[in-house]
Amino acid sequence: MSDRLDTVFAALADPTRRRILSMLLEDDMAVSDVAEPFEMSLAAISKHLAILTRAGLISQDRHGRVKWCKLEPDALREASVWMQGFGQFEPVNLDAFERFLAQELPEGPDRG
């Protein structure tokens, strides 16, 4: 379990990846739609998506020629359970997590 948690927390450490998770809270998205608001190459976004996929935070499925990304909250639940062991954290509430991400990320078209 420790390696899995290390992977999840390493994935969450990057602000771009946290922003991607926030976007996927709204709905599943095509990779091209995930990449659109960022000022980086599609290849760079694909690397971030691969890290999130390896951590189990998202899944990617191909539908025809389009690759779709979907939030997978189970990895967050495992991290939440681990944090509960310290007695000061509650289980991950995805609505609260979305509010946290919204506070962490400044608004505007140039964020990312």
12: closest CA among 109, 88, 86, 104? Answer: 104
Q: What domains does the chain contain, in order, with CATH numbers?
A: 2-102 (1.10.10.10)
Flag the least confident range among 34-43, 71-80, 92-101. 92-101
SS3 89: coil
pTM for the model: 0.74
pLDDT tens digit string along 45-76? Answer: 999 999 999 999 999 999 999 999 999 988 88
Q: How many helices (H) and strands (E) does the chain have?
A: 6, 3
What's the pLDDT score for residue 1?
57
